[in-house]
């Protein structure tokens, strides 16, 4: 395990940020001089106190929000707008209420071109992979919160994007559902590795899923620690009880600093 490792600027990184800063119109400096490099098959979790700029960082990589300093590259190209090879999933599943599960999963294809039989087969396969057989023709309001997140995960996979950004995707579901969704995400990543950046407040989830856990400082967000997760794959829930896992989780926890106001309240 290593901490405070400088960002790897070797060639071949899928996502590369150099000195990235973001100041919003009202003067809030959300991110300040952040360096990060994520490999093409790497799973990186990002943790940090509330408001440290995690969502802003993902939105910058997704091309949804412009950075105000530094450079952001995906597959060696500067990010100036949303890209097809970058898929994003939010805390709320953001499904279209008037479309069935199947139609929601097909949406990324439909936005680009006509849906072919192969697309239909792939969407059904993905829904099956996420245990949604029998629910292909249900509408979102007929599904539980966890099932809706599964549809959103299937839709993310349907984009075929080599870079997947997940912004606290399981924050609104109960603990047991979260565990199941974690396992499904692990299974998918271990089968179809992609460059994944996963924002979470949950340290166990961060460590269980990732190859590296990035800890951000309070706002303006920078990298406080870069913790390598040397645990074998495939991962299992049982691993979370091992001393090795606990040691890594503790290193991550110790790296998280609270904003000054919260620190004063805790004294
Ligand atoms: N559109 C905006 N305009 C002005 N300030 C913003 C905007 N979006 C975010 N901010 C501010 O930038 C800072 C970082 O916000 P961000 O949502 O990225 O943090 P976060 O780490 O994802 O927080 P949380 O963990 O609570 O979701 C916060 O102080 C927030 O108020």
Q: What is the DSSP letter of 221?
A: B
Whether 170 and 251 share a structural domain: yes
Structure confidence at residue 174 (pLDDT): 86
Residue 247 Cα to ligand 1 midpoint, Å, equals: 30
pLDDT above 70: residue 262 = no
What is the arithmetic mean of pLDDT over 7-36? 86
- Determine the angle formed by the axes of helices 101-110 and 145-158, rounding to 10 degrees: 30
What is the arithmetic mean of pLDDT over 207-222? 96
Q: Which of 138, 160, 182 is the last residue of a domain?
A: 160
- Among 90, 84, 236, 83, residue whose Cα is nearest residue 153: 90
| Closest Cα to atom 3 of ligand 1 | 24
Whether 7 and 139 share a structural domain: no
Residue 29 Cα to ligand 1 midpoint, Å, equals: 9
In short, whether 262's Cβ falls inside 6 Å of ligand 1 is no
Whether 260 and 192 share a structural domain: yes
Whether 54 and 111 share a structural domain: no
Give how many domains the chain has, as a whole number. Answer: 2
In short, whether 1's Cβ falls inside 6 Å of ligand 1 is no
Whether 245 and 173 share a structural domain: yes
Mean pLDDT estimate for the chain: 91
Find out whether 25 and 75 touch, Cβ atoms under 8 Å. Answer: no
Whether 54 and 176 share a structural domain: yes
Percent of the chain clearing pLDDT 70 (strictly above): 93
What is the arithmetic mean of pLDDT over 33-61? 96
pTM of the complete model: 0.90
pLDDT above 70: residue 266 = no
CA distances to 21, 59, 65, 78, 234 from 69, rounded to whole Å, are 5, 15, 12, 13, 39
Q: How confident is the model at residue 265 (pLDDT cuts 50, 70, 90)?
A: low
Residue 217 Cα to ligand 1 midpoint, Å, equals: 13
CA distances to 5, 35, 38, 80, 127 from 9, rounded to whole Å, are 12, 9, 9, 20, 37
pLDDT above 80: residue 267 = no
Residue 141 Cα to ligand 1 midpoint, Å, equals: 29
Whether 101 and 232 share a structural domain: no
The per-residue pLDDT for range 171-183, each reduced to its tens digit, is: 888 888 889 889 9
Q: Which of 160, 183, 215 is the last residue of a domain?
A: 160
Residue 164 Cα to ligand 1 midpoint, Å, equals: 20
Whether 252 and 195 share a structural domain: yes
In short, whether 24's Cβ falls inside 6 Å of ligand 1 is yes
ipTM: 0.97
Could you list the residue range(s) of the whole structural domain that residue 38 is in? Answer: 1-85+163-267
| Closest Cα to atom 4 of ligand 1 | 24
Whether 124 and 174 share a structural domain: no
E strands in 108-179: 163-167
Structure confidence at residue 91 (pLDDT): 84
In short, whether 51's Cβ falls inside 6 Å of ligand 1 is yes
CATH number for 197: 3.40.50.300
> What atom in ligand 1 is closest to the CA of residue 216?
21
Find out whether 100 and 148 touch, Cβ atoms under 8 Å. Answer: no
Q: How far apart are CA 228 and CA 77, in angstroms?
A: 27
Whether 52 and 179 share a structural domain: yes
Q: What is the DSSP letter of 265?
A: H
Q: How far apart are CA 5 and CA 71, in angstroms?
A: 20
Whether 262 and 178 share a structural domain: yes
Q: Which of 110, 142, 160 is the last residue of a domain?
A: 160
In short, whether 28's Cβ falls inside 6 Å of ligand 1 is yes
Whether 97 and 221 share a structural domain: no
């Amino acid at each position: 395990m290593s901490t405070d490792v400088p960002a790897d600027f070797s060639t071949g990184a899928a996502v590369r940020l150099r000195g990235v800063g973001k100041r919003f119109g009202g003067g809030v400096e959300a991110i300040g001089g952040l360096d990060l490099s994520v490999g093409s098959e790497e799973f990186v979790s990002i943790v940090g106190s509330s408001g440290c700029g995690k969502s802003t960082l993902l939105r910058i990589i997704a091309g949804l929000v412009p950075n105000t300093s530094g450079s952001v590259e995906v597959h060696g190209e500067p990010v100036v707008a949303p890209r097809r090879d970058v898929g994003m999933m939010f805390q709320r599943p953001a499904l279209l209420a008037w479309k069935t599960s199947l139609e929601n999963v097909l949406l990324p294809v439909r936005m680009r071109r006509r849906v072919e039989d192969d697309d239909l087969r792939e969407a059904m396969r993905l829904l099956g992979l996420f245990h949604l057989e029998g629910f292909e023709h249900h509408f979102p309001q007929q599904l539980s919160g966890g099932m809706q997140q599964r549809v959103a995960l299937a839709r993310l996979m349907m984009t075929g994007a080599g870079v997947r950004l997940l912004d606290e995707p399981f924050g609104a579901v109960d603990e047991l559902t979260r565990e199941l969704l974690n396992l499904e995400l692990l299974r998918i990543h271990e089968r179809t590795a992609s460059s994944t950046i996963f924002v979470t407040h949950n340290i166990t989830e961060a460590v269980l899923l990732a190859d590296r856990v990035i800890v951000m400082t309070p706002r303006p967000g920078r990298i406080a620690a870069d913790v390598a997760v040397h645990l074998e794959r495939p991962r299992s829930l049982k691993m979370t009880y091992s001393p090795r896992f606990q040691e890594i989780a503790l290193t991550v926890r110790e790296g998280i600093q609270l904003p000054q106001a919260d620190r004063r309240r805790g004294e």
